[in-house]
Amino acid sequence: MRAVYKNPRELATCLKDLVDLYLDDLMSYEKLTEKILKIVDANEVYKNGHIESKLLIVLGAEREEIINKIVAERV
């Protein structure tokens, strides 16, 4: 897994795959949190406090909620 993505579609696909692994019980919440935070820190995932619209198209509402929850817990 890369940390930096230049293409928003690849970034969204990576985030989607990570959350799907968690939803399928193939990854623990702690491991998911660690990976999501690394990706969020290395890329421009959020703009004006919200996930970028290009990413939302691929992610969907359920995955967006999980990612927002992880990022909110960090703060």
Q: 37-65, pLDDT tens digit by residue?
A: 999 999 999 999 999 999 999 999 999 99
The interaxial angle of helices 61-74 and 29-42, nearest 10 deg, is 80
Question: Considering the domain boundaries, does residue 34 fall inside one?
Answer: yes
Question: Considering the domain boundaries, does residue 56 fall inside one?
Answer: yes
pTM: 0.92
Question: Considering the domain boundaries, does residue 22 fall inside one?
Answer: yes
Distance CA 61, CA 58 (A): 10
Question: Considering the domain boundaries, does residue 46 fall inside one?
Answer: yes
Range of the domain at 61: 8-74
Secondary element (H or E) of residue 36 = helix 29-42
Question: Considering the domain boundaries, does residue 50 fall inside one?
Answer: yes
The interaxial angle of helices 8-23 and 61-74, nearest 10 deg, is 90
Question: Considering the domain boundaries, does residue 39 fall inside one?
Answer: yes
